[in-house]
Chains A and B, each alone.
Chain A
């Protein structure tokens, strides 16, 4: 459980980091908190020949520009809890943050790291898909802006090219007040979710004007609930309607089946948690 040999480089600027990553191509990896990469290296499941340490780069800002909230790739998870703009505009994001790992992981782990690692059951990729985030990636060739829906390609596979790294995540600030929630089920607190569901609602009283629902842990990437979202529009949200939305969502996904959880159980959880998350989002209105 010791990593294979690698060279360590500490980048002093984004330009230097990008130029190092360009030089190393597939053999280089940026490292920030190392919460996923270091264990994988110790197990020799990842064997980068070069690590580019980006911890000293100025990528840790949270700022609003017009209708966009931009979070730097180096924002550590524990900061989500103290950010009024997240609390005000992205309650589902805030709710999800409570489910991320343990305090140590939240202190060291970074937004860019979690997104780039793309674990199928992680909270933040799901939140990005839920909020229609844009992933900002840079390389020596310039900047690419990738919609979250196109960023996550498969388990641990993203749209990032060799030499490219995530520098920020942009969340569109909604025009109207939104209500949101995130609930997950895991064997133990802090484990990766068996199923996690995030929901965002725009409401007029109890009537749904707009809904977005996303799920972590069901498939190899986070999935949105197009049919359930459509179904909810214009409906009064009741327990029964929420259950029905859950059923619609569950029918539209093809959950993985592994030694820990059956596909059948995951499908069942999607129904239950979708319903609960919708009701929790609505109740957060009060």
Chain B
């Protein structure tokens, strides 16, 4: 007889961390309260571009309480550097406090410390920054205008980098095309808006020469490495802790100047220093995202086959290159993923990062893919319309069906369910498509259905970053699994969990390999002292790479447990299985030893171990991504209802069919997808970081920077197809970002369907929809 071992991978396990998160006992960065602490407020530039004449701090002398103030002159050459190692790149360097020139509104100019955060904010107001205005670069046209001087000294133009990617014979595709469809698309500037803003606390303890930095970050080890290099301290004497992190979404997936500066200030003042970012700073000066302009030209045969694609990609990346993904990150990613899930073998893309006097661009959930898929999937609908084909039929005609598939740029796609997802969504939407058709001539109410079919390269690792030549350099994730004498397990995880539910999913993975209850697995993360070196949590890599590493490290321990059990049961370790907290003979489960007994023997009663076995139950594994990553796929569909006279859009339905390979925990996957979709709806309809002509940000509070709220959201329906990847030990692909990728193109396609017009820009605000429906009201648009 065989034992029944319910698998934990795939089980709907309630998240362990929720007890703490939902009961108010979780400790976030602002909960770190140290005695004798100084509070930091930045005096930030109010001018978008100007030469600093003077930073006058004399008013602080008479303020009536102690203050400490530092300007760019006081900090030596400390700066943020993020260079892509290619000859075309023009480098930018951002001093931690601006020295000669300010290049965007919100750039830190002076650091003001006081013994109370109210007092430091009052004092920072009294720092007078005298600047001579310089001409601003505020638009992509201005950035490409040779008559406007570059914003960085020694630069030849305001282009950080311009490069090309190509594959196949595009000339032949063009020559053989029966249809050439060219469109230009634009996605607005946004920001990622974690619920908790950034924050850093640092303390230097001279006794053990230890610098401890608490930061609300997604990448504690990288923060440590950067601080070590910039402040010239040994990494072994720096401990970086990410406490509870209230959302990151990629915004906290870079190393920030503030993190380095707070550490430096703590050493300089020999007192703990704390900086808690406020919402205004977060909106104007943390990290911005999107801001893409694409022109695509597709070459299509008479029969409706895609033959080739030409792309021109510009991204306004703001004033400085950010660490570690650099100014080249977004445009490079857009060019790389533009071929998408479709079968064609000729492609050419020119992509460039343009500088402007705006907040630097960084990573935000999806990283360029929301914009790339927007252009790709809007174009698919436009081509279908032009050649008179149903948009789903047209996609099915061109979709990749055979795997592994080597795409036009040489990337190999592992198996997925591209065609099945499309078929499935067509079935789900049949009634909506029919209902939409009936409103086609209405001047009052229009219904539209739109979809976006996409793939996402996930679990990418070192090979991908080596190709990109960016300072992230590496991509493996490490896990150290230690079984304790009582049979419970501690995992030191190189990932950092800020909403992904990793404390639960990683425990599920370990539990399966070790045959124990996931409740007996405690996942420690976000602390460089207790976690093995890794690059942090971002890029839809945690599930597959973290999960794979935990699985493989756990298997090493499982192997040792089996060896001990075999020794005691006078069996062979190949005959032993682990499950239900027991090590048992596979063919006779009545003969078993509790795993906790084995653990005790491995760690305490070591005299019972087999001859020569070294005590201990500890194993570490570092798992890197496969050469080209693994490719998740999904189809998102939106059903919209538009009140034509007012332009009011109602999202009636939002459906996701997704395939992320093996699902570790369906509750977590559904939550990730829904959360991402909500952010994608924000991109589609509301969120817009608006600057005026002088590059002054206008949307500097939540009254102006609008995010979707509950009343604007439909129930988000999530359907799963599971195609485990052979490239990962547990078959998992990444899924953290996918939710945010599909909504903007799906909704834009739905609006296009409803109104019968091209929809080439986001966000689709009231004004935008009203303008797009002018023809229905009989006005010239």
Contacts and interface: CB of A to CB of B under 8 A. Distances in A.
The reply to whether chain A is a binding partner of chain B is: yes
B386 interface: no
Interface residues of A, number: 24
B113 to A, nearest CB: 15
B483 to A, nearest CB: 47
Contact of B117 (A2, A189, A273): A2
A272 to B, nearest CB: 5
A39 B703 CA distance: 10
A261 B767 CA distance: 6
B438 to A, nearest CB: 22
Contacts of A176: none
B270 interface: no
Given A1-B278, A2-B118, A185-B648, A268 B770 contact: yes
Contacts, number: 56
Contacts of A265: 647, 766-767, 770-771
B351 interface: no
Given A43-B701, A259-B698, A187 B766 contact: yes
B425 interface: no
Interface string B755-771: 00000000001110011
Interface string B627-662: 000000000000000000111100000000000000
B709 A259 contact: no
A262 B765 CA distance: 12
B122 interface: yes
Contacts of A32: none
Contact of B711 (A185, A190, A260, A272): A190
A192 B278 CA distance: 23
A191 B685 CA distance: 15
Nearest to B281: A1
- In the complex, which range does the number of interface residues on chain B fall in? 20 to 34
Contacts of A43: 280, 701
A272 B645 contact: yes
A87 interface: no
Contacts of B686: 187-188
B486 interface: no
B122 A272 contact: no
A187 B646 CA distance: 11
A269 interface: yes
Interface string A223-254: 00000000000000000000000000000000
A269 B712 contact: no
A5 interface: yes
B100 interface: no
A275 to B, nearest CB: 9
Contact of B766 (A2, A189, A261): A261
Interface string B684-727: 00100010100000100101101011011000000000000000
A189 B712 contact: yes
Interface string A18-61: 00000000000000000000010001100000000000000000
B121 interface: yes
A44 B701 CA distance: 13
A190 B709 contact: yes
Given A1-B279, A5-B122, A259-B698, A189 B711 contact: yes
A39 to B, nearest CB: 8
Nearest to B118: A2
Contact of A188 (B121, B647, B708): B708
A194 interface: yes
A12 interface: no
18 contacts: A1-B280, A2-B121, A2-B278, A43-B701, A185-B648, A185-B766, A187-B686, A188-B706, A188-B708, A191-B706, A260-B765, A261-B767, A262-B767, A265-B647, A265-B766, A265-B770, A268-B770, A272-B645
Given A1-B278, A4-B125, 9 more contacts: A2-B278, A39-B703, A43-B280, A194-B766, A259-B690, A260-B765, A261-B766, A261-B767, A273-B646
Interface of A: 1-2, 4-5, 39, 43-44, 185, 187-192, 194, 259-262, 265, 268-269, 272-273
